[in-house]
Amino acid sequence: MFEKGWRDIFNQKSSKIAKVLHDLEAYIKQTWPKLHLRLLSDEYLSMESTFTSQVITLYIYDAPLDIATRIFELFLLDGAQVIVDLIAGLIDIQYSKIMHLEELELMTYLRKEIITDVFSSFTFK
């Protein structure tokens, strides 16, 4: 936690969370401008409300055990960039579905369902 600066996730200012969310938002804005506008314009959605728990938990609670283990191993090797890359990859795979969802359904999908939706179509060995 010290080596990767992950203890900053739990400080009072949550500076690490803010940095990771800022990086994620910048990537979304550059890669999917229409999605970025939707996230900003929807009263239910924000980067913080949608992705904070995924940044803190690395999707560990929502992913199947074998996937959660791989995510955690990558995090230990590469740090916070892994979660930005993971979320971006999930969005990329499910972009058309995401753009058809509305309000709370969209937030729920991005927070909880997207990871199982994507990884249920893959098999890993």
CATH (domain of 90): 1.10.472.80
23-76 residue pLDDT tens: 999 999 999 999 998 887 877 688 888 888 888 888 888 888 888 899 889 988
pTM as predicted: 0.83
Q: Is residue 64 within 8 Å of 119, Cβ to Cβ?
A: yes
Domain count, the chain: 1
Nearest-CA neighbor of 101 among 89, 88, 114, 90?
A: 114
Nearest-CA neighbor of 90 among 123, 69, 57, 63?
A: 63
pLDDT of residue 57: 85
Range of the domain at 43: 6-119
pLDDT at residue 87 is higher than 90: yes
Sorted by sequence, the CB contacts under 8 Å of residue 14 that are 6+ apart come out as 8
Q: Is residue 1 part of a domain?
A: no
Ramachandran angles phi, psi of 120, nearest 5°: -70, -20
